[in-house]
Copies of this chain bind each other. A is one copy, B any other.
Amino acid sequence: MLTYSMDDRKNNSLYDYLYKCIKRDIMSGKLVSGQKLPSKRNFAKNLGVSVITIENAYSQLAAEGFIFSVEKKGYFVAKIGESVGKYAENITASDCGEDERTYNVNGNNQSCRKLSEQFAENEGTKKCAIESDVPTKIDFVSNIVNFDKFPFSTWSKLTREILSEQDEGLLRSAPVKGILELRQSIADYLYNFRGLNVTPERIVIGSGTEYLYGILVQLLGRDKIYAMEDPGYSKVMYVLNGNGVKCSPIPMDEYGMNIESLNESRADIVHLTPSHHFPTGIVMPIQRRLELLEWAYGKEDRYLIEDDYDCEFRLQGRPIQTMSEIDARGKVIYINTFSKTLAPSLRISYMVLPNELMDRFESMMGYMSCTVPNLEQYVLARFMGRGYFERHINRMRVFYRGIRDELLGGIKESNYGSKVKIMEENSGLHFLVKIRSNMSDEALVRRASACGLKIACLSDYEHTPNLSNRHVIIVNYSGMSSDNIPEAVKLLGEVIDN
């Protein structure tokens, strides 16, 4: 039977170490496609760990697409692709880092699912802006940061502290990449939390991802075509279009952006949300990640933009591995924001550029100034450096997990609980509710609006209509609190129960 010495795990938690060992053996080819993994009980006995440790490791591997489960038969190694060998070394090396952070695991993880197969429908709707005179009571659309949860006193304390030091650096124009202290804090964070080993020199800080996309367009060239996930987060496409570049929507399949469609397009750059696709919630499995990397390696000017917008809010298991980590040839641009973890009003985002692009950035943009005020940069650097950020995220994760559980519990116990299907509830701050309905999505949204419930459907984020995405309501619970959950459940019922 498969055996690993659990004594070698250094600072890793048991389950995290096991997850990494199995992943390494799959990537190196030691465990081959189709091979059956030990049963949880036997494996636990053999390794001298608890069944829950095995369960958690298997869940994480399944979530990332390394293994799959067959009902009543167990777990099997997935087919990763022929080019695995090339990346194996890279993956193994970076996984040997001492990633000491662990995350609570609560329940089972989902494996890849086929949205398209699950709910084939045959109704088309048209997107339109829905307006209603009824005031919004519950908002399942907007990204709202819970006001009570913002660490105001700590933030104020650090702001006062930094202002009182009156360092000259507060007034001097910041270097275009941002203040070193903050870039160092972000590098440390990426290493500890995302397993990414990057130097501060590769990080660029900017006032919001919208701004950073503008910079990327300058770096990558305005003649490039950007492939966008369809359905997807339309704002990124607006920003790119506004910056004068062409976007090509590429349909999603059950694993993420469809590779064949991508190959048929004339795209040069691909924008992706692999950790947690918006709005479908798909976690891109390792196979598709490798295929996309392979695509990027095919031509010199090709790049992948990995938008890791809500990786901090995976509510179950460890955070999904980034594509940047398995990228062996500097083809992935990593981008993330503090808008969701702290507050959108802070306007601080960052990106990690591959070395080649960083050289280009330095020669093209060296004359510019960083767009984030120095004060905010110093405060955030200290906030991260002293561990407040990690504590805040952990607290928020617990809070949102509570909200999610209450909301799901409410829906399940409601009179419509048995008529709907909940999907993708383990990551980010939204889940999907698939309902049965004769109404168009547009009519659904309008009906909700008339009840004071602001919702959006998957179809609202489609470029090319896909019938299988009909009647899927996106429940973004970022602005919810325990108080308004009963009303939210009730209003949702009024919309669904028609």
A binding-site residues for B, Cβ under 8 Å: 145, 147, 150, 152, 155-156, 159-160, 163-164, 166, 168, 170-174, 207-208, 210-211, 214, 218, 222, 235, 238-239, 242-244, 339, 343-348, 364-365, 367-376
**Is the Cβ of B222 less than 8 Å from the Cβ of A367?**
no
**Is the Cβ of B155 less than 8 Å from the Cβ of A163?**
yes
A181 to chain B, nearest CB (A): 14
Q: A344-B369, A369-B208 are in contact. Are A171 and B147 (CB under 8 A)?
A: yes
**Is the Cβ of B373 less than 8 Å from the Cβ of A346?**
yes
**Is the Cβ of B345 less than 8 Å from the Cβ of A171?**
yes
> Which one of B163, B218, B344 lies within 8 Å of A243 (CB-CB)?
B218
| Residues in B whose Cβ lies below 8 Å from that of A163 | 152, 155-156, 159-160
A162 to chain B, nearest CB (A): 10
Q: A222-B244, A242-B218, A347-B369 are in contact. Are A171 and B159 (CB under 8 A)?
A: no
| Residues in B whose Cβ lies below 8 Å from that of A370 | 347
> Which one of B152, B243, B367, B369 lies within 8 Å of A166 (CB-CB)?
B152
Residue of B nearest to A169 (CB): B345
Of the listed residues A156, A171, A244, A346, the one surrounded by the most CB atoms of chain B closer than 10 A to its CB is: A171
**Is the Cβ of A367 less than 8 Å from the Cβ of B238?**
yes
Residue of B nearest to A179 (CB): B345
Q: How many copies does the complex hold?
A: 2
Q: Other than the known A172-B345, A207-B207, A375-B376, what 13 A-B pairs have Cβ atoms closer than 8 Å?
A: A147-B171, A152-B163, A155-B163, A156-B160, A159-B160, A159-B375, A171-B345, A173-B339, A218-B243, A235-B367, A345-B374, A346-B373, A347-B371
| Residues in B whose Cβ lies below 8 Å from that of A211 | 207, 211, 371
| Residues in B whose Cβ lies below 8 Å from that of A159 | 159-160, 163, 375
Pick 30 A–B contacts, CB within 8 A, sort by A.
A147-B171, A150-B171, A152-B163, A156-B160, A156-B163, A156-B164, A159-B159, A159-B160, A159-B163, A160-B160, A160-B163, A170-B343, A171-B343, A171-B345, A172-B344, A172-B345, A174-B345, A207-B372, A208-B369, A211-B211, A218-B244, A222-B244, A235-B367, A242-B364, A242-B365, A345-B375, A347-B371, A347-B372, A371-B371, A373-B376
| Residues in B whose Cβ lies below 8 Å from that of A171 | 145, 147, 150, 343-345
> Which one of B147, B166, B373 lies within 8 Å of A373 (CB-CB)?
B373
Bound-state Cα–Cα, A338 to B20, Å: 51
Bound-state Cα–Cα, A164 to B164, Å: 16
Bound-state Cα–Cα, A263 to B477, Å: 58
Bound-state Cα–Cα, A347 to B152, Å: 23
Residue of B nearest to A218 (CB): B242
| Residues in B whose Cβ lies below 8 Å from that of A166 | 152
**Is the Cβ of B222 less than 8 Å from the Cβ of A170?**
no
Q: A367-B238, A376-B373 are in contact. Are A345 and B145 (CB under 8 A)?
A: no
Nearest first, the 9 A-B pairs at minimum CB distance are: A345-B374, A173-B344, A207-B371, A156-B163, A171-B343, A222-B244, A207-B207, A347-B373, A147-B168
Bound-state Cα–Cα, A147 to B242, Å: 38
| Residues in B whose Cβ lies below 8 Å from that of A174 | 345
Bound-state Cα–Cα, A309 to B184, Å: 34
Bound-state Cα–Cα, A174 to B152, Å: 18
A127 to chain B, nearest CB (A): 15
> Which one of B147, B172, B369 lies within 8 Å of A210 (CB-CB)?
B369
| Residues in B whose Cβ lies below 8 Å from that of A376 | 373, 375-376
| Residues in B whose Cβ lies below 8 Å from that of A207 | 207, 211, 347, 371-373
Bound-state Cα–Cα, A160 to B153, Å: 11
| Residues in B whose Cβ lies below 8 Å from that of A222 | 244
A377 to chain B, nearest CB (A): 9
Bound-state Cα–Cα, A348 to B145, Å: 24
| Residues in B whose Cβ lies below 8 Å from that of A347 | 207, 369-373
Bound-state Cα–Cα, A371 to B213, Å: 13
| Residues in B whose Cβ lies below 8 Å from that of A244 | 218, 222, 244
A228 to chain B, nearest CB (A): 16
Bound-state Cα–Cα, A373 to B155, Å: 14
| Residues in B whose Cβ lies below 8 Å from that of A170 | 343, 345
A339 to chain B, nearest CB (A): 8
| Residues in B whose Cβ lies below 8 Å from that of A243 | 218
| Residues in B whose Cβ lies below 8 Å from that of A345 | 170-174, 373-375
A163 to chain B, nearest CB (A): 4
Bound-state Cα–Cα, A164 to B157, Å: 10
**Is the Cβ of A368 less than 8 Å from the Cβ of B210?**
yes
Bound-state Cα–Cα, A368 to B168, Å: 32
Residue of B nearest to A150 (CB): B171
| Residues in B whose Cβ lies below 8 Å from that of A343 | 170-171
